[in-house]
Structure 1
Amino acid sequence: MQLKPFIILILLAMVLLLGFNIINGNRHENNRAVTVSTDTLADTNIVNSSTADSKIDSSATDINNQPLAEQPKAIMDKATTQLDSAQQIENERLQQMGDAQ
């Protein structure tokens, strides 16, 4: 193979890879933005449900204010609550998408 076509082929491959990385990076950033907004929405829902339903004192639910022996349980409870609310939000979105179709 001659050198000139080989260089052109290499440059074309580099341009294609650069284009792929730019497109893939934009898609990744968009997915991160959706994830961040979902997390914010989930946190808002948790705060709204806890204040509206049970009127729990915020200092009692703060993990740092829990006794040392109760902190791991409080962390697990918080994570479980966040997972449950995220699952509920996902199910609501799926229902909305199903209704739209």
Structure 2
Amino acid sequence: MQRKHLIAFTLATVFMLLGFNMINNYFNQKNRAALMDADVAVVKNKDEANDSISGQSLGEQPKAIIDNVTADIEQAQNLEQQRLEQMQESAE
């Protein structure tokens, strides 16, 4: 290969990698923002649940705590499933 062809090939490769990194970074930031929004929603729901527990009588609090923990586990499983689906979509 001549030197100018090698330089042109190298520059084209660098620009292609730069473009790929920019596109990949855009999608990662978009996914990260969606995950942060989901995490904020979980925290808000947890705060609301804690407020509802403290307003109940002492006899009803253990059941309310168990119900809230069960709901948190279900939310976490749903969030994990969504993340798994997003990872599978991005891998394709």
Q: TM (normalized to structure 1)? A: 0.55
Shift of 1:7: 0.6
Greater relative CO, 1 or 2 (CA 8 Å, sep 6+): 1
Aligned sequence identity (%): 30
Using the alignment, how far apart are the partners of 1:50 and 1:88 within structure 2? Answer: 21
Aligned residues: 69
Which residue pairs with 1:21 in the alignment?
21
Instruction: Please report the RMSD computed on the Cα atoms of aligned residues, expressed in angstroms.
Output: 2.9
Which residue pairs with 1:11 in the alignment?
11
**TM alignment of 1:33-72, pairs within 5 A:** 33-52=33-52, 54-55=53-54
Which residue pairs with 1:85 in the alignment?
75
Q: Taking structure 1 as reference, are residues 88 and 20 closer, same or farther at Cα in structure 2, changes over 3 Å only?
A: closer
Using the alignment, how far apart are the partners of 2:37 and 2:10 within structure 1? Answer: 41
Using the alignment, how far apart are the partners of 2:37 and 2:13 within structure 1? Answer: 36
Q: Unpaired runs of 5+ in structure 2?
A: 57-68, 82-92
Q: TM (normalized to structure 2)? A: 0.60
Deviations 1:57-90 (A, max 9, x none): 9xxxxxxxxxxxxxxxxxxxx8x87554333567
Q: Unpaired runs of 5+ in structure 1?
A: 58-77, 92-101
Using the alignment, how far apart are the partners of 1:89 and 1:10 within structure 2? Answer: 43
